[in-house]
Every structure is written in structure tokens, then in C-alpha cells.
């Protein structure tokens, strides 16, 4: 379980991020300013930090500067300061990503997930040779899927999506997250392209009335063994 530290003096912001990040199985701690965050981080080290810039007591720039003296933990600035000079200053201050308020919480979660994958790699499957869900077995070494013991042919895109789904069983995955995990292109595909790709994958892995991937209206998709 990844641990995320959210730092912002706006309670609505921290609560919103806490809800969405916890939906993805992450553990979230909250601080209201840089000083409080440094104290918390010393006791409860996090895998990633999301911080505002304009805060009382200690602002985000000073916080990240002091944090970098003790840790290389990935940091994302979440702030209303969205001009290019502000972005450059934030990145130069040691941030790994920069998101401007107001923001879509699902985009924030997708960026957090992408950063964690880039920095920590696929820890969930480190050392594993296969992933399973019901009668599905995904051989990670051979990159082959077996359903009830029978091989199922997958495209490269379908394989990447399935690995991501099986790594995150029981969690709601947004379209942004699925794109970040599986698509090898810079331009975000339209929603219909993602829906069609997921639909094709679902048709290959389903067994009769057993559909492993469920649509969660307004949020995304979730994979689970319902039996």
C-alpha cells in the first residue's frame, strides 16, 4: 500500500484528495503547512508528497527545499500559481510534477499513479511469475494468458491493460490511469477508443455470465473475481 502525504491549508482540497486516493487503495496522511508536513514525514515517511505552494507558517517552496535535504521522495505541486515562471520555479525547486488548481481529482490520482509507477516500478508484481483472478492466469514471464487452462491470444495493448487490471484487483481505475499504464503514445486517445479497447479485452477474458471487469459509472472500471 503506497503512502501519500497531502499538504494544503484548504480542508476541502485535502479531504477530496484523501477520498479519491483511498479509493485506489492508498494510505493518506494530511498536513496543513510545510512545518507540520516535515514533522509528519519524519515520523511517517511517505512514498509521495502532494503539496500546495501558498501556505501559512511554511510555504511549499521552503517545505520542498527542506524535504530534499532528507529525502528524494517524489513531489507534486498542486497550486493556483499556474503561470509558466511559477511552473519552472516549482520544477526547479525539486518537484516531479505540477498540477494547477482548480483540478480534476481523477487527473490528480492518475498523475500520482503514473509517478509512483515511474519511480517505484511495478512493486506489486516484483518477483512474481504469474497473476491470477478466478480462472484467469497471466504468465508474466511468457506474457501469455490462460483462461481455465486454455491459452488466450492478446494484443500488446490488451496485455498491458490486463496486467494493470490484475495488479489492481478490487480498485476503481480511471480511464486516465488505464491510458498511462497501457498506451504507448503521448496524445491521450478519445474516450471511445479506450472504451472499445476495454470492451475487446472484456470479451476475451469473460466466461459465460462471468465478467471480471465491471464499469463503475462516472468513475472508471474495476476488476474482481465475483465468485
Dihedral sign of CA atoms 80, 84, 89, 94 in order: positive
**Residue 184's pLDDT is what?**
67
Same domain as 149, residue 90: no
Same domain as 133, residue 39: no
Does position 11 have pLDDT exceeding 80, yes or no? yes
Same domain as 86, residue 37: yes
The answer to whether 100 touches 79, Cβ cutoff 8 Å, is yes
Of 72, 92, 120, the domain-final residue = 120
Same domain as 157, residue 64: no
Same domain as 179, residue 147: yes
Does position 48 have pLDDT exceeding 60, yes or no? yes
Tell me how far apart the alpha carbons of residues 158 and 163 are, in angstroms, rounded to a whole number: 9
Same domain as 179, residue 130: yes
Confidence tier at 182 by pLDDT (50, 70, 90): confident
Same domain as 99, residue 12: yes
Same domain as 63, residue 141: no
**Residue 92's pLDDT is what?**
76
Phi and psi torsions of 189, nearest 5°: -70, 160
Q: What is the pTM (predicted TM-score) of this model? A: 0.56
Beta-bridge partner residues of 131: 138
Q: What is the CATH number of the domain that holds 140?
A: 1.10.10.10
Does position 186 have pLDDT exceeding 90, yes or no? no
What are the residues whose beta carbons fall under 8 Å from the beta carbon of 192, sequence distance 6 or more?
none
Alpha helices in 24-80 (DSSP H): 34-43, 60-67
**Residue 94's pLDDT is what?**
76
Same domain as 132, residue 112: no
Same domain as 142, residue 109: no
Of 91, 120, 149, the domain-final residue = 120
Percent of the chain with pLDDT over 90: 38
Burial code of 26-50, b = ≥16 C-beta within 10 A, e = fewer? bebbbbbbbbbbbebbeeeebbbbb
Q: What is the CATH number of the domain that holds 71?
A: 3.40.50.2300
Number of structural domains in the chain: 2
* 3-state class (DSSP) for residue 146: strand
Confidence tier at 124 by pLDDT (50, 70, 90): very low
Same domain as 186, residue 108: no
Alpha helices in the chain (DSSP H): 11-23, 34-43, 60-67, 84-92, 105-120, 156-167, 175-182, 191-205
Give the domain range for residue 179.
Answer: 126-223
**Residue 223's pLDDT is what?**
92
Q: Tell me the pairing of strands 220-223 and 213-216.
A: antiparallel
**Residue 123's pLDDT is what?**
45
Of 98, 120, 142, the domain-final residue = 120
Confidence tier at 145 by pLDDT (50, 70, 90): very high
**Residue 125's pLDDT is what?**
44
Read off the pLDDT of each residue in 33-48 and give the average, rounded to a whole number. Answer: 93
Beta-bridge partner residues of 146: 137, 151
Same domain as 212, residue 193: yes
Amino acid at each position: 500500500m503506497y503512502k501519500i502525504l497531502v499538504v494544503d491549508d484548504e480542508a476541502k482540497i485535502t479531504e477530496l484528495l484523501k477520498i479519491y486516493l483511498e479509493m485506489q487503495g492508498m494510505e493518506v496522511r494530511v498536513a496543513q503547512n510545510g512545518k507540520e508536513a516535515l514533522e509528519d514525514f519524519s515520523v511517517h515517511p511517505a512514498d509521495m508528497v502532494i503539496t500546495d505552494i501558498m501556505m501559512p507558517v511554511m510555504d511549499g517552496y521552503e517545505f520542498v527545499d527542506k524535504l530534499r535535504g532528507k529525502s528524494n521522495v517524489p513531489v507534486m505541486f498542486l497550486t493556483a500559481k499556474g503561470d509558466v515562471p511559477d511552473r519552472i520555479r516549482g520544477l526547479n525547486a525539486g518537484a516531479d510534477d505540477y498540477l494547477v488548481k482548480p483540478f480534476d481529482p481523477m487527473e490528480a490520482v492518475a498523475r500520482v499513479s503514473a509517478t509512483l509507477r515511474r519511480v517505484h516500478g511495478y512493486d506489486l508484481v516484483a518477483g512474481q511469475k504469474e497473476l491470477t483472478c478466478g480462472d484467469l492466469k497471466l504468465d508474466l514471464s511468457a506474457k501469455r494468458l490462460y483462461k481455465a487452462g486454455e491459452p488466450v491470444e492478446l494484443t500488446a495493448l490488451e496485455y498491458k491493460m490486463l496486467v494493470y487490471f490484475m495488479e489492481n484487483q478490487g480498485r476503481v481505475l480511471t480511464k486516465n490511469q488505464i491510458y498511462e499504464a497501457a498506451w504507448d503514445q503521448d496524445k491521450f486517445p478519445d474516450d471511445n477508443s479506450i472504451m472499445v479497447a476495454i470492451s475487446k479485452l472484456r470479451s476475451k477474458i469473460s466466461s459465460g455470465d462471468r465478467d471480471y471487469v465491471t464499469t463503475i459509472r462516472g468513475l472508471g472500471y474495476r476488476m474482481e473475481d465475483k465468485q
